[in-house]
Copies of this chain bind each other. A is one copy, B any other.
Amino acid sequence: MSQIPQASAERPVPTSADVARLAGVSRATVSYVLNGTSAVRISEATRLRVREAADELGYVPHAAARSLRSGSSRMVLLPASAVPVGPLYSKFFNEFQWALRHLDYTVVQYGSLGLAPDEAARAWAELRPVAVVALGAPQLTAAGTQLLRRSGAKAVITLAPQPVAGAHALAMDHSQVGRCAGSHLLERGHRRIGVVVPQEPGLEMFSEPRLAGVRAAVEGSGATVVPLELAYEEESAAALAGRWRTLGLDAVFAYNDEYAMLLMRALQDVGIDVPGECAVMGADDLMLGRLLRPRLSTVQLDMATGQHLAEFVDRVVRDPDGASERHDLMVARTVHREST
């Protein structure tokens, strides 16, 4: 009960009323000055007094109160995904955030690790974001989408393999990646093609369409496709390499450059010549691939600029029921080096 208040410790947070009192004006005036409202005219002398008072108190407006009153937060919520993401994605992501801020949105990543899809959607809805952009896990369900829209989200955008009802879908068609790899290997005369499927959880979103893309590419050519499970560990790669010759493969698409390096090393260690006896292909075009010997052939991914996506979000927010063009975020291109 009888605490001795440390002057700095228990001082209450200053509000606009405090600023008004100190400047000898009303709260309304404080609001006008600090927001530069053009509809009302405030004398220069008053403006100055208000600004000084605000500075002196270290006043910072309360975002929750403001958005409560205005009814909208201009907050774009990005569920933080659990999937470990590479440098491509992180570059794209930074651009996206930057562009959104310049469109006057507040970008917030919400840690949703380990939440069930519908719990997550509910937690997001509590924040009343104007837009939700769900790029990774947890996936949005139709119910989750509906909940978000009901709670005022103008744009619910998802990166969906199969579209979710009510959400604007953004395509990031990873089957393209597989298709590129498949065609390339086919052209170079390979007929028995292995496709690495990582065992790490959370990657199915990418690995499944990539595998399907390879299958689509070789369709009708007489070539066969063999899925190969692989964990991102040396032992797993060594085991796979050990039984390699029994598989009778003459090429492998290794999911991405990192798995490709892992597998290629293991193959070389058991005396298999790359690309002579077996071609190896990666994806993502990391620096890594250029440093390997043989240099790694790969599928390069160009992500649309973050600016582009930011503008798309903004357009949907302003006109939620407008035509929902399907946006493709990604373009894949084969880069031929020495490993195929």
- Residues on A lying within 8 angstroms of B by beta carbon are 2, 4-6, 8-9, 11, 13-14, 58, 60-65, 67-68, 73, 80, 82, 84-85, 87, 90-91, 94, 97-98, 100-101, 106-111, 113-114, 122-123, 125-128, 146-147, 149-152, 165-166, 232-234, 258, 261-262, 265, 287-288, 290-291, 320-321
Complex partner residue of A58 from B62, B146, B287, CB under 8 angstroms:
B146
Contact, CB under 8 Å: A262 / B234: no
| A-B contacts besides A8-B150, A58-B147, A64-B67, 13 pairs, CB < 8 Å | A5-B166, A8-B149, A13-B128, A60-B122, A63-B64, A64-B127, A84-B90, A98-B111, A101-B111, A108-B108, A109-B110, A262-B291, A288-B288
Cα A315 to Cα B123 in complex, Å, equals 25
A64-B67, A122-B60, A146-B58 known; A152 vs B98 contact (CB < 8 Å): no
Chain B, residue nearest A12 (CB): B152
In the assembled complex, how far is the CB of residue A259 from the closest CB belonging to chain B, in whole angstroms?
Answer: 10
In the assembled complex, how far is the CB of residue A134 from the closest CB belonging to chain B, in whole angstroms?
Answer: 15
Copies in the complex: 2
Complex partner residue of A150 from B11, B152, B166, B291, CB under 8 angstroms:
B11
Contact, CB under 8 Å: B68 / A94: no
Complex partner residue of A108 from B9, B14, B73, B109, CB under 8 angstroms:
B109
Which residues of chain B have C-beta atoms less than 8 A from A5's C-beta? 166
Contact, CB under 8 Å: B94 / A60: no
Which residues of chain B have C-beta atoms less than 8 A from A9's C-beta? 320-321
A73-B64, A82-B94, A261-B288 known; A13 vs B150 contact (CB < 8 Å): yes
Chain B, residue nearest A87 (CB): B84
In the assembled complex, how far is the CB of residue A9 from the closest CB belonging to chain B, in whole angstroms?
Answer: 6
Please list the 7 inter-chain residue pairs (A to B) with the smallest Cβ-Cβ separation, ordered nearest first. Answer: A109-B109, A64-B64, A97-B111, A107-B111, A63-B126, A60-B125, A58-B150
Contact, CB under 8 Å: A126 / B58: no
In the assembled complex, how far is the CB of residue A129 from the closest CB belonging to chain B, in whole angstroms?
Answer: 10
Which residues of chain B have C-beta atoms less than 8 A from A101's C-beta? 111, 113-114
In the assembled complex, how far is the CB of residue A240 from the closest CB belonging to chain B, in whole angstroms?
Answer: 14
Most chain B beta-carbon neighbours within 10 Å: one of A73, A85, A147, A287 = A287
Which residues of chain B have C-beta atoms less than 8 A from A321's C-beta? 4, 6, 9
Complex partner residue of A60 from B110, B151, B265, CB under 8 angstroms:
B151
Chain B, residue nearest A90 (CB): B84
Contact, CB under 8 Å: A62 / B126: yes
In the assembled complex, how far is the CB of residue A169 from the closest CB belonging to chain B, in whole angstroms?
Answer: 12
Contact, CB under 8 Å: B58 / A151: yes
Contact, CB under 8 Å: B13 / A152: yes
